[in-house]
């Protein structure tokens, strides 16, 4: 199944499984020191932006910690999912969907979609 960038943005806005997996993918794109410090110190175009690094890294750690006792899509609380959205011009905007191009270019286009985003 092929997926477009717009379809990916939709999944990263509306599907908890895709949101959780994307957070893990982005976290693993952080350098080791960025993961430990939960911040962005290398501006290499992958991983989290500086403003998202601390919060998203903490979510990624929680998602990974819950991988054996909770199914993908239910490893974060509803309040945590709600915190992943902001309102811009009256519309709900996903903080994860803003990384869709990074995920699309690095994982979907090269054809390793199934192992990265479920």
What sign has the CA pseudo-torsion 26, 28, 29, 30? positive
> What's the pLDDT score for residue 30?
86
Q: What is the pLDDT of residues 10-32, one digit of tens each?
A: 999 999 999 999 999 999 888 78
pLDDT of 114 higher than 50:
no
Q: What is the pLDDT of residues 34-89, one digit of tens each?
A: 788 777 777 777 789 888 989 999 999 999 999 899 988 899 999 999 999 998 89
The pTM assigned to this predicted structure is: 0.83
SS3 breakdown of the chain: % helix, strand, coil, rounded to 5? Answer: 55, 5, 40
Q: Are 53 and 39 in contact (CB under 8 A)?
A: yes
Per-residue b or e along 13-52, where b marks 16 or more CB atoms closer than 10 Å to that residue's CB: beebebbbbbbbbbbebbeeebbeebebeeeeebbbeeeb
């Amino acid at each position: 199944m092929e997926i477009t960038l717009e379809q990916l943005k939709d999944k990263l806005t509306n599907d908890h499984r895709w949101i959780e997996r994307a957070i893990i993918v982005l976290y693993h794109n952080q350098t080791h020191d960025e993961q430990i410090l939960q911040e962005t110190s290398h501006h290499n175009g992958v991983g989290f932006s500086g403003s998202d690094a601390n919060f998203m890294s903490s979510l990624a750690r929680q998602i990974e910690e819950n991988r054996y006792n909770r199914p993908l899509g239910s490893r974060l609380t509803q309040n945590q999912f709600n915190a992943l959205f902001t309102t811009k011009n009256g519309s709900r905007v996903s903080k994860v969907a803003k990384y869709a191009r990074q995920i699309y270019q690095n994982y979907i286009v090269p054809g390793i979609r199934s192992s990265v985003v479920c």
